Structure 1
Amino acid sequence: MVTEPMPTAADMGRVAVMMGGASAERAISLASGQTCLDALVALGVDAEAFDPLPRPLADLTAFDRAFIALHGPGGEDGTMQGALESLDIPYTGSGVLGSALGMDKLRSKQIWQALGLPTPAYRVVTSADSSAAVAQALGFPVFVKPLREGSSLGTTPVDHEDDLAAAVAAARQYGEAALVERCIVGTEYTVAVLGDEILPPIRIDVAEPFYDFEAKYRSEATRMTIPCGLSAERESALQGLARDAFAAIDARGWGRVDVMADERGDFWLLEVNTIPGMTDHSLVPAAAAAHGLDMATLVWRILLTSWRHGEAT
């Protein structure tokens, strides 16, 4: 069997590290992108920051490939992936379909349900008038989320029906409808995917009411526990569920699957992040470090997802 030589930094050509953009996660994307850019430059890759907010996409034709560090709509939802494909520029991570489904919490859950994968019960709400129906169907507590947004933006935990309308209104600032999801009381885990590998799961312990924007990017009280404290058998089951959930929505390359374990220990899928954060508070770098991969190696492995058989994807 002949094994193809691994590409070198020079083989990658000129790389656009796409960061910033116009979504509500712009600031986090800039931080993630800068981390990745610094790592690539240190590895000898000819990499350059590319912010699609001020620059026309036509400028990308000067690059050989794109490292996507954009978060949220317009960068993580298949839009940019489709644009890059139309320009015949290889890029990191999931393709158009996997990116679109990963951003769409409703479609992800529908696919998982169809395949028999566990995910919390939910309702889609387009107005405050649905409060009584939601209360009857799901009970409380619940989480109210935008259908297509990341970093927990617009997400609110709700314990009482009287607070539901305000939470729905907050979520609908990011789109027409809100996803109201039964709250799983228990322990939160996240599982990173890197190529064909499932990295060690992380248990997330937060001081805030839930793992919100503050806890993800600013709080020093958030704890990422690795090993996650599960038995070897349970950890393997969690990794297998994450693998199945990731593959079910056609995600590929790299990403992260968020999971809750209830008080009985049963796992429930929350969502897939196809371009997770890469800041110093981020989960994928922490999982990679526990797996023996430093930041430079992690970023290089992500860049390799744009490469197949010595050519572009």
Structure 2
Amino acid sequence: MKIGVIFGGPTPEHDISILTGLQALRELQRSPHDVTGIYWTKSSAFWSVPLEVEAESFLEGVPKGSSELGLRLGEQGGFYSLAGRLGKDRRIEFDVLVLGTHGGPGEDGTLQAALDLASLNYTGPHVAGAALGMDKFAFGALMQASGLPTLPRALLTTSTQSLAFDGPYILKPRFGGSSIGIDVVTDLATARARLATNIHLSRGCVVEPYRRDLTDVQIALRIFPELELSAIEKPIRRSSVAEILNYRDKYVGGEGMVSAPRELPARLGVGQEDAVRHYATLISEIASVRGVARLDFLVNDDELYVNEINTIPGSLSKHLFVEPPLAFSKLLGDLIAEAVERPAHRYSAAGADGLVLRNVGSIASKLA
């Protein structure tokens, strides 16, 4: 099979996406597949990169030896190798695209929609699942409506005068991934002021009560060939005085999520492991999960809350499938098989038979 691995993109999580993409690229190079690395730049261009590239090759942008690609939609849609003004562009016949795209348009449904319109098979969430997972407010509302335990959550704007819960507050980008842009404040006035100074809150801000007594626990799940839940992990903060599990805790270790400090499996209170697994199973259906995803919960000795979902998790959560052990090659192989056997979407014009057009008459008469 001809496999492309897409990573990077115009997102604050650009760098960690490169790490996930390179991990998948290296693993697939050991397989019989014909593999291509597709780097998505910060300015939204696509480039085919040499297979031997390392993370530092991207420090100055596009690595040396790369070739520019174009993405086209429609009947002849797909990735094309661009030949320049005097040559003819060549379509690259990818069977599947493995997505290692974290945050922004690579995880909010934008890239997924483009690939659907280009009739390309890809791994990970479909458009609706990606959009839901990236919208913290919508996801939280869906969990609450489904009867799952969540902390109260509200939208914060410059006109917000009161909240239904007391401070301190945690502010989160409504459409952001990871921990980038998260802020903890003591009062509502300070929260509103952050809207003007925190660029990551510019597209929307979700506010929740900040509970220092709650800690993060995470579980991964994969859908194909059947639902499988990973071990439960408790990420460890690098600083005991940190207010939240931050970007540095998760990723700054050289191998993305793989090298982050953690307690695995996590030691939880009585009944909490069963509760996490029960809620994860429900969410797999409620949120229409596809591929592999990671669910984040908040817990203390007595309470457990659903926090958020990551539909393209760092390192594809390969480090969490330890009970029983799951080889990265197997994880990738099943993602690829799912993409082929269960395509995310194929649009259809069935039902558009021209009847309305034949009977509509003059458009001008409809404007009179």
What's the TM-score once normalised by structure 1's chain length?
0.85
SS at 2:35 equivalent? strand
Indicate how the Cα distance of structure 1 residues 29 and 232 shifts in structure 2: closer, same or farther if over 3 A, else same: same
Q: CA RMSD in A?
A: 2.4
Which residue is equivalent to 1:32? 20
In 2, are the aligned partners of 1:154 and 1:170 still within 8 Å (CA)?
no
Identity of aligned residues (%): 26
- CA–CA distance in structure 1, aligned partners of residues 139 and 344 of structure 2: 28
Cα distance in 2 for residues equivalent to 1:260 and 1:205:
13
- Secondary structure of the 2:125 match is coil
Shift of residue 118 of structure 1?
1.3
**Counterparts of 1:205 and 1:94 in 2: how far apart (Å)?**
28
Q: Return the alpha-carbon distance in structure 2 between the equivalents of residues 168 and 240 of structure 1.
A: 37
Q: How does 1:8-23 map to 2 (within 5 A)?
A: 13-23=1-11
Shift of 1:202: 0.6
**Larger relative contact order (Cα-Cα within 8 Å, sequence gap ≥ 6):** 1
In 2, Cα distance between equivalents of 1:17 and 1:97: 22
Pair 1:260-2:294 in alignment: no
- CA pair 96-271 structure 1, distance change in 2 beyond 3 A: same
1:162 Cα deviation after fit? 5.3
Where 2:32 maps in the other structure, the secondary structure is coil
Report the equivalent of 2:310: 273
- Aligned residue for 2:55? none
Partner AA of 1:93 in structure 2: G
Deviation for aligned residue 1:43 = 2.0
Are the structure 2 counterparts of residues 210 and 231 from structure 1 closer, same or farther at C-alpha, using a change threshold of 3 Å? closer
Q: Are 1:133 and 2:162 an aligned pair?
A: yes
CA contact (8 A) 1:190 1:201 kept: yes
* Secondary structure of 1:199 counterpart: strand
Q: Secondary structure at the match of 1:229?
A: coil
Per the TM alignment, residue 157 of structure 1 is displaced from its structure 2 partner at its CA by 1.9
Matched, 1:235 2:273: yes
- Please tell me whether residue 210 in structure 1 is matched to residue 241 in structure 2: no
Q: Give the match for residue 96 of structure 1.
A: 127
Shift of 1:45: 2.0
The 2-side partners of 1:166 and 1:197 are apart by: 44
Structure with higher helix content:
1
Say which is worse superposed, 183-192 or 220-229, in terms of deviation: 220-229
- Alignment: residue pair count: 291
Aligned to 2:289: 251
**Given the alignment, which residue of 103, 106, 124 partners 2:137?**
106
User: Cα distance, 1:26 vs. partner?
Assistant: 0.9
The residue identity in structure 1 corresponding to 2:174 is: L
Q: Which ranges in structure 1 are unaligned for 5 or more consecutive residues? A: 1-12
More displaced 10-residue stretch of structure 1: 147-156 or 50-59: 50-59
Aligned to 1:6: none
Q: Which deviates the most, 159-168 or 202-211?
A: 159-168
Give the 5 Å matches for 1:1-313. Answer: 13-52=1-40, 53-55=44-46, 56-58=70-72, 60=79, 62=92, 63-127=94-158, 129-130=159-160, 132-134=161-163, 137-161=164-188, 163-184=190-211, 185-195=213-223, 196-206=227-237, 207=239, 208-218=242-252, 223-230=261-268, 233-264=271-302, 266-278=303-315, 284-308=317-341
Bigger shift: residues 77-86 or 182-191: 182-191
How far does residue 232 in structure 1 lie from its aligned partner after superposition?
Answer: 7.4
Q: Which deviates more, 20-29 or 179-188?
A: 179-188
User: Per the alignment, in what secondary structure is the counterpart of residue 107 of structure 1?
Assistant: helix
- Write out per-residue CA displacement over residues 233-286 of structure 1, whole angstroms, 9 at most, x where no aligned residue: 42122111122223212222210000001452x2111111000111xxx8x222
Which structure would you say has the larger Rg? 2
